Amino acid sequence: FNCALQENILLQGHMYLFLHHICFYSNIFGYETKKTIPLQDVTDVRKAKTAAIFPNAIEIVAGAKR
């Protein structure tokens, strides 16, 4: 899926769903970002808002990280 990861800045990339993991990959101007979340660590998935008004996001909670 095309998506964006919100950290310090918004990173455009791709989310990949596998049987046991959720992965994110981005390569912008040679700056490569890879994130892997084991599904066994995911405690909640909920609707979220971008820019505090647009309800077009999801929030994945894994342990204490969001």
Segment 35-63, tens digit of pLDDT: 999 999 999 999 988 777 888 888 899 98
Check: pTM over 0.75? Answer yes or no.
yes
pLDDT at 36: 94
Contact 39, 21 (CB under 8 A): yes
Question: Hey, where are the domains in the chain?
Answer: 2-62
Please, is 13 exposed, middle or buried when counting C-beta atoms within 10 Å of its C-beta (0-12, 13-18, 19+)? buried
